Structures are given as structure tokens and as C-alpha cells.
């Protein structure tokens, strides 16, 4: 029986593909990148005034999720003039996922959120970035 092996290098991971006894075997290993984490979580208290979310520059970022962990609805938008009439609502316990990519040299996006009633501390809104 002839064994066939292939080694592939795919953007930050390596894969070993082999055929043994007529079956394909695939093993994938992801390289640890200690300089940039695969995801980050930041926390912020959203207030009745427009609050900028802590979306930081993360090279290779694929998306952002905003999770409302507070007891009241929040509204989010792309300007500090966001209101409950113009923003995207996120109910208490709800989240909003955005395909908000970033590559080195891009202009960073700022997202602002407000609430009409004071949220309860400790921090009540979580921002997760994934790369």
C-alpha cells in the first residue's frame, strides 16, 4: 500500500494531510501568536451621554461583538450624536456582531453607545474583538 503525505502552510496554521488505507487523515496545528491575541474583551459603562466603545486597533481583526450585560436597552451608532431614535438597539442581555475588519493602515472605526436609564455598575457592556 502506498502512503501519500502532503504538508500545507495556510495563514498562521499548518496542516498535515495523509491517505492511509484509503482514508484521508487531516491534522491541523495553529501557530501561537503571542504578540497579538486571537481575541480581546474590553468592558465599559454605557451612560446617558454618548460613550465611545474601547475598540482598539487590532491588525487582522475580523469582527467585533457588543454585548449588553446591563439591565437596560442601549443604542449604538457611528457618531457621538447617536440617539435612541437613530442608533441600533441592543436589549438587555442581547448582542450585536459586526464584520468590522481592520488591517494595518486602515482608518479605525469608532462606535458610540447610549442608554436612556443609568446602567448598573460594575461594567455592563462588553466589547469582544476577534482576529
First to last CA, the chain: 42
d(CA 57, CA 101): 10
Give which of 119, 123, 107, 98 is closest to 49, Cα–Cα: 119
User: In this predicted model, what pLDDT tens digit does every residue of 16-50 receive, in sequence order?
Assistant: 444 444 555 444 444 444 455 678 888 888 989 99
Give which of 37, 41, 5 is closest to 20, Cα–Cα: 5
User: In this predicted model, what pLDDT tens digit does every residue of 93-103 receive, in sequence order?
Assistant: 999 998 877 76
Peptide bond between residue 122 and the one before it cis (omega within 30 degrees of 0): yes
Return the ∠ at Cα 68 (arms to 65 and 84), rounded to 5°. 100
* Domain covering 39-130 assigned CATH 2.60.120 in the classification: yes
* 105 confidence band (pLDDT: 50, 70, 90): low
Residue ranges per structural domain of the chain:
1-31, 39-130
Least confident range of 6-15, 33-42, 117-126: 6-15
User: In this predicted model, what pLDDT tens digit does every residue of 83-92 receive, in sequence order?
Assistant: 999 999 999 9
Q: Are 87 and 78 spatial neighbours (Cβ–Cβ below 8 Å)?
A: no
Neighbours of 83 (CB within 10 A): 11
d(CA 47, CA 115): 6
Amino acid at each position: 500500500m502506498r502512503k501519500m503525505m502532503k504538508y500545507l502552510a495556510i495563514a498562521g496554521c499548518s496542516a498535515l494531510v495523509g491517505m492511509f488505507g484509503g482514508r484521508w487523515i487531516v491534522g491541523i496545528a495553529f501557530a501561537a501568536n503571542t504578540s497579538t491575541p486571537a481575541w480581546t474583551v474590553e468592558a465599559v459603562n454605557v451612560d446617558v451621554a454618548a460613550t465611545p466603545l474601547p475598540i482598539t486597533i487590532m491588525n487582522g481583526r475580523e469582527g467585533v461583538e457588543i454585548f449588553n450585560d446591563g439591565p437596560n436597552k442601549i443604542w449604538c451608532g457611528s457618531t457621538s450624536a447617536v440617539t435612541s431614535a437613530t442608533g441600533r438597539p441592543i436589549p438587555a442581555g442581547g448582542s450585536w456582531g459586526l464584520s468590522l475588519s481592520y488591517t494595518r493602515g486602515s482608518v479605525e472605526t469608532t462606535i458610540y453607545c447610549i442608554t436612556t436609564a443609568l446602567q448598573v455598575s460594575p461594567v455592563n457592556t462588553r466589547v469582544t474583538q476577534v482576529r
